[in-house]
Copies of this chain bind each other. A is one copy, B any other.
């Protein structure tokens, strides 16, 4: 069974040993009991089957709850099922990947209307490719600020549920989607250098809602999404705040990536060799040429124990105007500081609330004075 879980030569470690960050799973909403069950599962149950079976079980619970009229519990169970499908597939690049992704998408789609607050599904079409966007509105009267949330190398629109909840509780709407190389978009488009185009399309969508304040829309991206967030903020002047959560400015550190992460880059690049992947993502993810264009308050969170080297922090300090920049370097933090519990997440959510709150105030002051919003 060990063989089945291996990457076939690139590593002798099992993927879950090499790549797994238990803090991430817990903070994203995976049950501690399921995590213990995964660790202690029988030798003849594969990682993939363990989590996919759990997803089936949670789906059945959800159906039972729906039949009983308990939509809140049903939504939680569908959400748990979607997370199980995510973590079933995320370390592999064979047919498990596609099966798990498909399951996650359909389970989240069931969860969406039952979440509290609900996630509304909207369909954009970009270059002929359908792109679902999920929007959640906070309680209370609007117009609300909003945060566009970006997934990463193998995280998608379905996994930000817990972080969305923190943002929503602080009075901000959320929007999630899959861009090039991610989730539902992957079949249509590989990872590419134009993610910001998709962020802007979602911003266009959000501006159309009267419940949302178009002057107070920010972006938050995690891991690779933290790279996309920076580029989106640099290229989209309508964004009023940017959070790069465990992001990076470029791929100069390619050689330091783990074998499994390199394989993951190859997979999302849809190329044959690692060298082709390196060339492709190095070009696609370069942001240093555009970072000086950033015009909105920008928050960068980096953990010193991240595989992503610390030079990234020097880059942002050099290229992004100092008066716009908040840099948090956590000396004990790992990638995305998942090992530090809720604190980094509260900090990001509160910072967004402050910055987008000020953007709201400025916009209304300008309006009262007959001026135009900042552009």
Contacts and interface: CB of A to CB of B under 8 A. Distances in A.
Interface in A48-96: 61, 65, 68, 70, 72-73, 76-77, 80
Interface string A310-346: 0000000000000000000000000000011111001
Contacts of A169: 72, 116
Contact of A353 (B36, B70, B116): B70
A350 interface: yes
A349 B343 CA distance: 28
Contact of A170 (B34, B72, B353): B72
A296 B350 CA distance: 45
Indicate how many identical chains form the complex.
2
A309 interface: no
Highest count of chain B CB atoms <10 Å: which of A22, A31, A73, A170: A73
B32 A68 contact: no
A361 B72 CA distance: 21
Interface in A11-69: 22-23, 26-27, 31-34, 36, 61, 65, 68
Interface string A226-247: 0000000000000000000000
Contact of A76 (B339, B346, B354): B346
A: interface residue count bin? 20 to 34
A114 to B, nearest CB: 13
A339 B33 contact: yes
Nearest to A25: B32
A356 to B, nearest CB: 14
A79 to B, nearest CB: 11
B68 A350 contact: yes
A133 to B, nearest CB: 26
Contacts of A346: 65, 70, 73, 76-77
Interface in A129-166: 139
Nearest to A73: B346
Contacts of A353: 70
Given A32-B22, A33-B23, A169-B72, A65 B350 contact: yes
Contacts of A343: 61
With most chain B CB atoms within 10 A of its CB, the pick from A33, A36, A77, A339 is A33
Given A76-B346, A139-B139, A350-B68, A341 B31 contact: yes
Nearest to A27: B32
A33 B73 contact: no
30 contacts: A22-B32, A23-B32, A23-B33, A23-B36, A26-B26, A26-B32, A27-B32, A31-B342, A32-B32, A33-B339, A33-B340, A33-B341, A34-B341, A36-B339, A61-B343, A65-B346, A65-B350, A68-B350, A68-B354, A70-B353, A72-B169, A72-B170, A73-B346, A73-B349, A73-B350, A76-B342, A76-B346, A80-B342, A116-B169, A139-B139
Given A26-B26, A73-B346, 16 more contacts: A23-B33, A26-B32, A31-B341, A31-B342, A32-B32, A32-B341, A33-B339, A33-B340, A36-B339, A61-B343, A65-B346, A70-B346, A72-B169, A73-B349, A76-B346, A116-B169
Interface of A: 22-23, 26-27, 31-34, 36, 61, 65, 68, 70, 72-73, 76-77, 80, 116, 139, 169-170, 339-343, 346, 349-350, 353-354
